[in-house]
Every structure is written in C-alpha cells, then in structure tokens.
Structure 1
Amino acid sequence: MSSRAERNRLVEANLPLVGYLAADTHARATHIPREELAAVGALALVTAADAYDPALGVPFGAYARRRILGAFADEMRSMDWASRGIRKRIKETVAVRDTLTAALGRTATVSEVATAMGSPREAVSEALADAARTVSTIDDPAARDLVADVRLPEESALVGERREVLEHAIAALPERMRRIVLAVYIEERPVKEIAEELGVTHSAVSQQRSEAVRLLRDALDRYFAEGTVEPVASTRISPAARDAYFGRIAEAAGARIGEVFRTAAPA
C-alpha cells in the first residue's frame, strides 16, 4: 500500500465483510465457533490490506473476500471432524435415502434406509445426523455481491485499537508460529510448501497455524475483556507459556497496551 493511512482506511471500510462472511460460514459450519472465524477473518483482512496492489485493477473488496474465504477454508480443513471413512459412510447413506425417497414419493425413514443398507438403525441415524452438519462450499456466489461499505457500528468500533493490538500480538508469537502466519496470510504460500521448508508434516503446519490464531484470539480477548473476569483461554498451550506470550506483548507494546498484558505476565 502507498501509505499506512490508506491501509487503515481499507481495513476499517471492509471490516463488516469479515462479520458477514464469518456469520455466513458459521451458519453452514456450526462446529467452528463464529468468534474463531471472525478472528481468522480479521487477520486475513489486515494482511490483505498490507499486500493489496491497486495497480492490479481488482477492487479491494473482492481481493479481501478471496483472502478471507481462503483463511476460513484453511481453518475448516485444520479442524475437519470427518475422516475419509466417515465421509464415505455419509455419502452412501444419503444416496440410499434419496433413492428410496424418490421411489416412495416421500422422505424415507431411518428404519427403511437401515433395512435397505443392511446396517444397524443407530449407525444410519448417526450418519444422517453427520450429513446434516457437513460443511457446504464457502465459495457461495451469493456472497460475491456483498457491498462492503455498509458500516456496522458494533463491528467498526475501536478497529484502530484492535489492529494495533493484533500487530503486537503477531510479532510476539513464537518464531515458528509467526513464520507460518506470515507465510500463510501474507505470502499466500501453500501449506505443503511451508511444511517442506520447515521439515514437518502438512498436519503439523495446520496445527501450528490454528494454535497461532487461538493465541491471537486470546490476546484480543485479554485486551478487550470487560471487568475483572479472566477470559476463557482458547489456546491449548500451558498457562505458563500463554503468560509468557502475554509478557512478550507487554515488553514490545507501549504503556497503554502493555499495561493490560503485564497483569497477565508471570510475577
């Protein structure tokens, strides 16, 4: 971007896009917390503004949308609850149900599907329940026409302060997590390529990226917590490691931000 002010303007103007896409994706992927999607999307929006080149002739809203949805897709892949075997069972069960439904002229019952498949009723019922929560594609054409210049007050409030906290939180991540976050969200590199460079598995990179996002979310939750109630941690690292992370943010940030995180740092 030509200036930090212009980058900030783009982030502020398109913040409602994050809220919309997070809500829309969560409606079809209810197993992923909306707050986690929002945190992933906010990070993708900031990094999109940093990397955006107006000379490409692509509107920033469209460019940011692609980056945000890509970040959501990575998050869903890293949290995928269904193995290949489960997905195969879901596909077969739904196919039998749909075939019976077409033949009978009404929705087939669980017992009828179970009989046709020669499977226990409980297994069929579980497969159909899993099918109901299977994630559909997030690249929904309906979202392409979203107008991102409608400001939602509850989403745009304190955006500058959130961005400042987020920048310090990213800088304070453990080295490998920070490298992965920058590679995924800034450089847009494939996870496979990052894994090969680091000498780890694809799964390990995805896990580290997800843990980094949880740490960033914890940092934002810590800073914007209301009252004296300690926010519930979403990260899976030990409390001591989490406090050390907060301590690094406190050391690097100014007095206003640092004071909040010093109260969480080890005595």
Structure 2
Amino acid sequence: MNREERDHLVVQNLPLVGYLVSEICMRASHLSRPDLTQVGAIALIQCAESFDASLGVPFGAYARRRIKGAFADELRREDWATRGARSRMSELALMQETLSGALRRQPSADELAAALGVDRATVEASQLDAARSVTPLTDVIADMVAATSQTPEEAVLQAEHEGFLGAAVAALPEKMRYIVEQIYYGDRNVKDLAEELGSSHSAVSQQRTEAMRLLRDGIERHYLATADAASVPHTRIAASRREEYLSDLGARTLGGATRVRSHHVFRDGLAKSLPALG
C-alpha cells in the first residue's frame, strides 16, 4: 500500500476513532477526549500501515481491535490512583450501598467511617477520589479487554477451522496447492509466481480462482455438510478430478468428523485465514 492509499484509508476511518472515544467517555467521563482521540488516530495510522487486505479481514474490524488496545494501554499508563486508593474506593462504594439499603437513606460520612473502622477524613478523601473517577478504571479496561480477546470457545473453533483448511489446501492438485500456499502463506504475488512457473499472469490467476472453488466444494461437502454428491459443483474442473480431490480430503479429515454447528461461524473464522472463497 502506497502513502496515498494509506492516507485515504485513514481519512475514511477517522469517524471510527471518534465513535470509540465517545463510547469510553460515556463510561468514564473524567477521561480526556483530546488525549484519547490523539491515541486513537495514531493507532489508526499504524493499522493502515500494517493492514494486509489479502487476509480477508475487513479494515474496520482490524482497526477497531487495535484502537481499543491502544486505549487500554493509555489508560493503564495514565492511571493516577494507586492500587490501595482503588481498593478503598471499592470498599467505600460497597459500604455505602449496604448502609443505604439498611437505613433507607444515604449514610453520612461519620456513619460510613464508623462502619469501615476509619476516621472521617479517610472517608472524605475516598469520596473525593471517587468523584474524580466516575467509573473505576479497572472496569473500563476490563470491558475493553473483554471486547478484544477471544473466548475459549472461539479459540477452539478457530484452531479447528485452521486445521481443516490446512488439510483442504494440502489435498489440492499439486500446482494449485503450490500457488495457494505461495500466495496466501508465502505472501507472494501472482506476477512473481507467473515468472517462476513460466506461465502467464492470467493462467496463474485462473489456477488460484479454481483452487478457491475446489476448496469451497471440499468445505461444503466434508465440513459444513451442506452439499453432497448430487450438489452443483463450484469448480469447473473435470468431475473425476473433483471427486478425486473430495475423496482425498475426506480421508485426510475422517470425512469431516468434527463440524461446527453453523456454517456462518466457519465462514467468519475462515476469513481470517484466506480471502472469501470465489
């Protein structure tokens, strides 16, 4: 991606930074919008510089995760309160809630001090700290980390997707397999491969496209179980070659014994490994 393309991508997605800043400030209004906006803009530029469209992941989704991660790092770095101060604020909030329920009114500072076993000055100091931080910073960071991390189930599904996809690629006819591996795993372009193979650009592109169709046939037959021998094939190669591939893939994956419940889940996971199948 050249500089002009990168700048265009950044300008197009600047509203995303503003949206994410507003989302955080709704939970923690004491945070500085200008500072977070600057952090988000820098993260967006870095995303544009490192973005690889060939992986099939939408830029917006990729940038959102990276920007949220940058916000979390900034919040940790700029946190003014010590762990002890955060602990005292949490204890004060819990005691205030407990006494409010028992007394059916807001407790006084003296009542809170007596219940906590501290002096009035300590309670008032904690109340001032709490007023500076509408939402505990740890809660803000926890929400952001939870939004950007894989759940254990997602991690298992992703590993299963990648394992099946690896077997599907390995079962491709030799030339197709080599082209797919070099383009999607070796980060090479079609022009270089055409020169290496002594072929034309269009011929290599056609092989790549046919490989994608064949992979789709294999996934639908052996992983998603949405197609059978009577289904209309996606690939345009000879029927005998297609069936040979499907048979080999079935043997490599035990007939697709491990299948996800929804083909949408597989499709989303697959997009992280290869572009959408043609």
Short-chain TM bin: 0.3 to 0.5
What TM-score do the two structures reach when normalised by structure 2? 0.45
Specify the structure having the higher radius of gyration (Cα): 2
